[in-house]
Amino acid sequence: MNKNIDWKQGEPFFEGLYLTAIRFPNGLGQLDLMFWENRQWLTYDSKDPIHDYCQVVGFASTSDIIQFCRGNWPQWDDED
C-alpha cells in the first residue's frame, strides 16, 4: 500500500513514537520508527540517541500512519 505521508519538519511537540525519514551523509536515506524523548531522537530497538551524522529530515506521528491501516479485527478474538 502506497500512501502519501503528511511529513512534518522541525521537532515534534509531543514525546512518543514517530515514523521518521533519516538522511545519511552519503545522500542515502531510510524510513524508521524512532522515539522523540527529552528533545532528542532515540532508536526504536535500544532507545539510544541516533548518531550525529544522521539527520531526521521529516517525521509523522504513528497515529497518522495507523489511519492508513484500518481493517477488521482478528476473528478468533471474538469474546462475547
On the question of pLDDT at 57 being above 60, the answer is yes
Question: If you ran DSSP here, which 8-state letter would residue 14 be given?
Answer: S
C-alpha cell at 57: 529530515
Average pLDDT over residues 55-65: 91
Band of residue 77 on the pLDDT scale cut at 50, 70, 90: confident
Distance CA 75, CA 65 (A): 23
- Three-class DSSP category at 56: strand
User: For residue 59, what are the contacts with CB-CB under 8 A and spacing of at least 6?
Assistant: 7, 8, 12, 18, 19, 20, 21, 34, 36
Range 29-49 average pLDDT = 94
39, three cell numbers:
528533545
Average of per-residue pLDDT across 73-77: 80
Q: Has residue 80 got a pLDDT over 60? A: no
